[in-house]
Amino acid sequence: MTYLTTLAALQAAGAMPATAADESAAIARFTRFFSDFSPNKIAVLLDQTYSPDVWFNDTLKTVIGRDTLRTYLKHSAEAVESCVVDVKETLKNEQGDFFIRWVMTIRFKKFKKGEDTQTIGMSHLRFDKAGLVCFHQDYWDSTAGIFEHIPVLGWIIGKIKARL
Residue that wins the pLDDT comparison between 143 and 122: 122
| pLDDT tens-digit readout, 79-127 | 899 999 999 999 999 888 999 999 999 888 877 677 888 889 999 999 9
pTM attached to this predicted model? 0.84
Report the top-level CATH class of 3-163.
alpha beta
Tens of pLDDT, residue by residue over 10-58, are: 877 777 777 889 999 999 999 999 999 899 999 999 999 999 999 999 9
The C-alpha atoms of residue 94 and residue 158 are separated, in whole angstroms, by 41
Q: Which comes out higher in pLDDT, residue 133 or 3?
A: 133
Query: CA 107 to CA 64: how far, in whole Å?
Result: 27
The sign of the torsion formed by the CA atoms of 40, 43, 48, 52 equals positive
First to last CA, the chain: 34
